Amino acid sequence: MNIVVGFKIVPDDQMIKVVGDKLVTDAPPKISTYDKNAIEEAIRLKEKFGGKVTGITVGSNDRKSIREALAMGVDEVIAVISNKIDVYATAMAIVENIKPLNPDVVLFSEMSTDSGTSALPAYVAEALGLPYVSNVKSLKIEGNKVIADRGMVSYVETIETTLPVVLSVGGEINTPRIPSVKQIMESSKKPVKEVKFDIQPKVIVKEVKPLLVNRKKIVIEENDIEKAVDKLLEYLKSDGVL
Amino acid sequence: MKIVVYSESPVFLRMGAAVAQSFGGELIGISTSQDAKFFNKLYLIENTDEEGIVDLVVSLTPDVFITGNVRKDRAIAGRVAGRLKLPIITDVLSIKLDGNKAMINRSAYSGMGIAVIETELPLVMTVASTQLQPKQIEPSIEKVKLKEGRIKVIGRKSTSSGANISTADIVVGVGRGIQNKENIKYAEELATALGGVVGGSRPVAAELGWVPEDRQIGLSGLRIRPKLYIALGISGQPQHIAGIRDSKIIVAVNTDKNAPILENADYLIVADAVAFCKAMLKKLGK
């Protein structure tokens, strides 16, 4: 099976801080949270059906993050260097690089932690002319047939389609593996293909401002929980919410 | 200017219609309900084949396609934009048009930031929220049978648990820190005593199934706006915070007084979640 998985290298969302009137986003890079679920699912498909997993990332080409994907079990990574990217430019960069591979399955996660548009997998599916199934929480492939459960929050939808297909997965689909020291060592031997791709994006981000919600941040710490609750109830009454 | 609006959710369809009306122009709605009376023209669809909806929207060649923020909407938005090679902007908080230029504020970084965006028409957008209300317009109605696409729906199971946490005044949120499924009953009792409902973080709702799946609070689940939100054993991942930002007052209960949720809480009670529930129930005389 010919498997492609897209992953995004983003600033660590737990380290993004509001400082004064600025949102400081130059946090250490990491693979976006649910993208690891996409990588895990890609590797599981390979373990079941054989074949190859090609990873593709656009934008940041942080070595450590790419190594992590390889250590998890991705065979090769295409790192597309591009400065100005929106959904359109990212999709075009991906399509140009994966179309020649004729993938059976293209996996993404359902949402990145930085821009979080959920739009990229759908955009890529259309550009490749393939069916798209979003928010997959469980996946079964038998021969050419794909059966998936989509978690839509207020309902779960079971669908059937055929390969080739583009999928986006959520955090429920699996638990991403943690590579062993040996796998991390060996990942340095795996190929990383760096390519340049430049196209005029359609969406320009002028600035990112912090969304400030001023909270009181009052810590109530008492040895006696009942005392703590008394204090809290008083506060909540004066706030007019109880 | 031709504006097409679709959403699987009636709430988002209203929001989308309100934004569309603020632009003015030819307003076209797509809905399964003939009560969607906010448009000049309404395509009343008998089935909801995702590919069929995409085809219909594309065939109308809109200057602006507006949809909501539920998962089905986002999938359709991405596909329409991809097929027409249009700019796509999701989670729109506000938009100003000037000729064919659009200035947009959207939520980014899991709701921690507002990105100020410039782009041009034609475009695809999904609405995060709006204060605008749509006016009633009597539309001309055309019934449409959508073509069946390459994806067959072979089953559908509602996860609805009878409580609507999106509109609840008081929500008690449960995270992994509650320890186990048995302890959820204390959260339930507290919520009942306060006249509220229980929701949960994504791991608890979607992965562990300790609370019903339609009650997951967060970036990719539901965004709530209660006057009081009590977070039991929730550490405060950015994805969860994204769902609770609009709460008036946030109380966090955590054994760790340095838990990241403090940054986004009005009160942090340093305590075990179950002990807190029991003490609250006693004080509330329940």
pLDDT, tens digit (0-9, with 9 covering 90-100), for A191-221: 999 999 999 999 999 999 998 889 999 999 9
Residue B22, classed as helix, strand or coil, is helix
Return the residue of B nearest to A159 by Cα.
B153
Residues from chain B contacting residue A25 (CB–CB below 8 Å): 109, 113
Residues from chain A contacting residue B81 (CB–CB below 8 Å): 87-88, 119, 122-123
Return the residue of B nearest to A226 by Cα.
B279
Return the residue of A nearest to B246 by Cα.
A213
Which of A112, A126, A169 would best serve as a mutation to test chain B binding (most B beta carbons within 10 A)? A126
For B168, phi then psi, to 5°, come to -70, 145
Confidence at B211, pLDDT banded by 50, 70, 90 = very high
Residues A62 and A25: their CA atoms lie apart, in Å, by: 15
Q: Which of B71, B150, B276 sits opposite A135 (nearest CB)?
A: B71
A110 touches chain B (CB under 8 A): yes
Alpha helices in chain A, H assignment, sequence order: 35-49, 63-72, 87-98, 120-128, 181-187, 225-238
User: What pLDDT score was predicted for residue A18?
Assistant: 87
Look up residue B137 and give its amino acid.
Answer: I
| Tens of pLDDT, residues A15-37 | 998 888 899 999 999 999 999 99
Residues A50 and B24: their CA atoms lie apart, in Å, by: 55
Q: Is the pLDDT score of A84 beyond 90?
A: no
Contact A136, B206 (CB under 8 A): no
Long-range contacts of A229-233 (CB under 8 A, 24+ apart): A229/B269, A229/B276, A229/B279, A229/B280, A229/B283, A230/B283, A232/B251, A232/B267, A232/B269, A233/B283
Contact B75 A208 (CB under 8 A): no
B153 touches chain A (CB under 8 A): yes
User: What pLDDT score was predicted for residue B160?
Assistant: 86
User: What pLDDT score was predicted for residue A83?
Assistant: 81
Contact A213, B264 (CB under 8 A): yes
Residues B181 and A40: their CA atoms lie apart, in Å, by: 27
User: What pLDDT score was predicted for residue B180?
Assistant: 96
| Tens of pLDDT, residues B76-123 | 999 999 999 999 999 999 999 999 999 999 999 988 999 999 999 999
Q: Is the pLDDT score of B159 beyond 80?
A: yes
Contact A155 B149 (CB under 8 A): no
Task: Determine the distance from the C-alpha atom of residue B204 to the mean position of all C-alpha atoms in its chain, rounded to a whole number.
Answer: 18
A118 touches chain B (CB under 8 A): yes
Q: Is the pLDDT score of B286 beyond 80?
A: no
Contact B175, B200 (CB under 8 A): yes
Q: Which of A115, A116, A123 sits opposite B78 (nearest CB)?
A: A123
Return the residue of A nearest to B247 by Cα.
A213
**For residues B198-224, average pLDDT:** 93
A163 touches chain B (CB under 8 A): no
Residues A156 and A171: their CA atoms lie apart, in Å, by: 15
**Residue ranges of B 17-76 with Cβ closer than 8 A to chain A:** 51, 70-72, 74-76
| Tens of pLDDT, residues A160-188 | 999 999 999 999 999 999 999 999 999 99
Q: Give the dihedral sign, CA B18/B21/B23/B28.
A: positive
Contact A144, A162 (CB under 8 A): yes
| Tens of pLDDT, residues A118-163 | 999 999 999 999 999 999 999 999 999 999 999 999 999 999 999 9
**For residues B163-190, average pLDDT:** 96
Residues A206 and B114: their CA atoms lie apart, in Å, by: 11
Contact A91 B82 (CB under 8 A): yes
Look over chain A and give the mean of its residue pLDDT values, rounded to a whole number: 96
User: What DSSP assignment string belongs to A95-119?
Assistant: HHHHGGG--SEEEEES--SSS--S-
Confidence at A97, pLDDT banded by 50, 70, 90 = very high
Diameter of chain B measured on Cα atoms: 62
A142 touches chain B (CB under 8 A): no
B228 touches chain A (CB under 8 A): yes
User: What pLDDT score was predicted for residue A60?
Assistant: 93
**For residues B235-240, average pLDDT:** 92
Q: Which of A115, A132, A220 sits opposite B270 (nearest CB)?
A: A220
CA distance A34 to chain B (A): 11
**For residues A86-90, average pLDDT:** 98
Q: Give, as one character, the DSSP assignment of residue B99.
A: T
Residues A239 and B15: their CA atoms lie apart, in Å, by: 30
Contact B51 A131 (CB under 8 A): yes
Residues A44 and B51: their CA atoms lie apart, in Å, by: 28
**Cβ count within 10 A of residue B98:** 7
**For residues B49-71, average pLDDT:** 97
Residues A202 and A198: their CA atoms lie apart, in Å, by: 13
Return the residue of B nearest to A18 by Cα.
B112
Contact B220 A86 (CB under 8 A): no
CA distance B61 to chain A (A): 16
Task: Determine the distance from the C-alpha atom of residue B17 to the mean position of all C-alpha atoms in its chain, rounded to a whole number.
Answer: 16
Residue A195 forms beta bridges with which residues? Answer: A80
Q: Tokens 């034609």 sit at which residue?
A: B122
Contact A118 B78 (CB under 8 A): yes
Q: Report the C-alpha dihedral over residues B275, B280, B285, B286, rounded to 10 degrees.
A: -70
**Residue ranges of A 47-66 with Cβ closer than 8 A to chain B:** none
Q: Rg for chain B (alpha carbons), in Å?
A: 21
User: What pLDDT score was predicted for residue B164?
Assistant: 86
Q: Is the pLDDT score of A45 beyond 90?
A: yes
Contact A118 B151 (CB under 8 A): no
**For residues B220-224, average pLDDT:** 89
